Chains A and B, each alone.
Chain A
Amino acid sequence: MTSEPNRVVLTLALLALLIVCLGDFASVQANRIVPGQGLGLLAGLGWPWMTGIVVGLLGLAGLALRPTGRRYGLMLGLSGALLIQLPVALAWFIQQHISAEQPYARVGLAASCWSLLFIGALLLVELQQRVVAGRHWVKLILVLLFGVSWLLIGTGALAPLALLREYSSRSSTFWQLLYGHLSLVGGALLASLLIGLLVAWLILRVQPLQRPVFALLNFFQTIPSLALFGLLIAPLSYLSAHSPLLQQLNVRGIGWAPALLALIAYSLLPVVRNTCVALQGVAADVIESARGMGMSGWQVFTQVQLPLALPVIIEGVRITTIQAIGLTAVAALIGASGFGSFIFQGLGQGAMDLVLLGALPTIVLALLADALFSSLASWARAGVQR
């Protein structure tokens, strides 16, 4: 049996090979200020390690030419190995190039390290569907990857990594920002759910309201986020100046208040739109027979409409949450607490590692929210149609 080559894996493997051979693996900086010196695979890790990586990638490409069920298993194994060896390679790199007498020296990740990480992740996504129980193997690989990284971080072997250096000098701020970020997103989510469900309920009852309400929500959505944050400063400052109560609550022109308001304004559209679409999408005959059975209006809503609409409503919440996580990062510009602080500080100081310290957790939060709500939605969908 001849099989088509798997072009995705083939392309990814060759691309990684190209970047790995041409690009720097990591860079060494004597301290935070001086420019770093990039080192390729050979200079950074030595030829045995380099050979391992290159052979691994070549192997992947070779297997992808004539894939079979078994070879897909091998490919998944190779991709996992390429990923899991990364933290070890970094630790090895640090051992080779940083001595204990250099407390300020740091190691930054460079092109080939990043590309191995991302291409490895893409490979996992591609291969997960092609291998029996692929999802479980991918989970195992991720657990191993995090476990190995965690161990190496714990022993201090990775401490000179620039990202970790930035973190260790700011660890308490980091957790504060995480808390600030999560409470803004959570608050906005809660408020927009409450308001959004109410609005959806209202405009489903009073049809003529539908157009103007959607026009307004769409309008909010079109204002650039920075502009909306800015627009809210003046009125909130005014209100705060005239109300001691608001001052006590720390409501000012800048800070959490305008950020929260803007987040709610952005969140309403996906919540209201999905809720409306979902509730309207419940088949008319199902509702008719629910009423015909003698259910009260409330029972029809809670027992029939809501459960049937839930997957689509959750989808709206998912979009809202991911959007709010990103916007909260921007809201740092008007003084709201969140990972955006690191990003903008880092940009100001030209310290890319600090930018990463803000950006990476933001991305991770968004991915986690995506995974959480996707599985919630599929759980709700499973309840709807089996």
Chain B
Amino acid sequence: MSDAAMIELRNVSRQFGDITAVDKLSLRIEKGEICVFIGTSGCGKSTTLRLLNKLIDCSSGEIWVDGEDVASLDSKLLRRRMGYAIQSTGLFPHWTVERNIGVVPRLLGWPADRIDARVRELLELLSLPYATFVHKFPSQLSGGQAQRVGVARALAADPDILLMDEPFGALDPITREALQNELLRIQSHIHKTIVFVTHDIDEALRLATRIVVMDKGRIVQHDTPENLLNNPVNSFVEDLLGQGERGLKRASLERVEDFMLPLGAAGLPSLSIEAGSSLRQALSLMLWQRADLLCVRDQAQVPLGILPISALLQSKSS
């Protein structure tokens, strides 16, 4: 392997009978990135994910993980190195939250006290109070709680790679957004390589380092969210992005602090916005308050700059 690509697919195909679920896929996923797969139902996203941890085998092609050809690896050992979380959670209904989260560490033969410490740590990380949840059974959890536990289980043995198949699907928008924020927060601490499948373009744009758009088992475009928005390769990607809302979608990826102007001598505008907010939020505030000028402040409310409406139209300052 040439360099640090954590996962590399080379010409990977998978047939089910005469259906080609994955068709000559080639792809590099770098260490520490969140690679999001998106595409229409049945385009082969889940199949690709399952190929990575050898839940199914390739019909042809090679998959390399961390410098090793997965064909040469024992599938059980490979899977214990990769966290796996799925939409329906697949939590073991006969085990408590504690036992569910501890399953991979137990398979790896960790001592009990280390498992216990890890379970505490993970429940805290995912904002599930230890005492409340540790002895609950999956049937006693809400959908969002169950998906958190599913994510905690995937993280348990501290794998370098996380495979997540619509882990936040089937959740209401508010819970979903909270979990997305949590994932980003966690990722900023743990720097895993995450392969994430979703149906939701906003989720993809918000989470991804790079997005893989798939159609009929092939890659249509593999790009950063910005590039995807700015240069969709064809009408399929344009449709996926939602024609009428592209401007807003891009604005939601851009941050106010990158567009603000220095504080002038004139007095501060009365309306304020936080520097980390998105341009979309700034625009919304302007539209709502019928204001054309905002004051940009940091979290401690210290003024950093101003944001006139004309600044939103500039290309990003570097």
- Residues of chain A having any CB pair with chain B under 8 Å: 283, 285-286, 288-296, 299, 304, 307-308, 383-386
Contact = CB atoms under 8 A, between A and B. Distances in A.
B255 to A, nearest CB: 36
Contact of A289 (B77, B86, B137): B86
Contacts of B92: 286, 289-290, 304
Contact of B139 (A292, A383, A385): A385
Given A294-B79, A308-B94, A288 B139 contact: no
B84 A293 contact: yes
27 contacts: A283-B88, A285-B88, A285-B89, A285-B90, A288-B90, A289-B86, A289-B89, A290-B92, A291-B55, A292-B55, A292-B79, A292-B90, A293-B84, A293-B103, A293-B153, A294-B77, A294-B80, A294-B104, A295-B76, A295-B103, A299-B107, A307-B94, A383-B94, A384-B93, A385-B137, A385-B139, A386-B139
A299 to B, nearest CB: 8
B53 interface: yes
A386 B79 contact: no
A289 B76 contact: no
Contacts of B139: 385-386
A385 B104 contact: no
B107 A294 contact: yes
B140 interface: yes
The main secondary structure of chain A at its interface with chain B is: helix
B76 A286 contact: no
Contact of B53 (A283, A292, A308): A292
A386 B140 CA distance: 8
A299 B90 CA distance: 16
Interface residues of B, number: 25
Contacts of A291: 55, 79
B86 A288 contact: yes
Contacts of A383: 94
A278 to B, nearest CB: 13
Interface of B: 53, 55, 75-80, 84, 86, 88-94, 103-104, 107, 137, 139-140, 153, 163
B118 to A, nearest CB: 15
Nearest to A386: B137
A385 B94 contact: yes
Nearest to A382: B94
Contacts of B88: 283, 285
Nearest to A304: B92
A285 B103 CA distance: 16
B56 to A, nearest CB: 10
A289 B164 CA distance: 11
A293 B79 contact: yes
A283 B94 CA distance: 12
A293 B103 CA distance: 8
Nearest to B137: A386
Contacts of B104: 293-294
A293 B86 CA distance: 11
Nearest to B108: A294
4 nearest CB pairs, A to B:
A289-B90, A294-B80, A294-B79, A292-B84
A385 B95 CA distance: 9
Nearest to B104: A293
A289 B163 CA distance: 12
Contact of A308 (B78, B90, B93, B107): B93
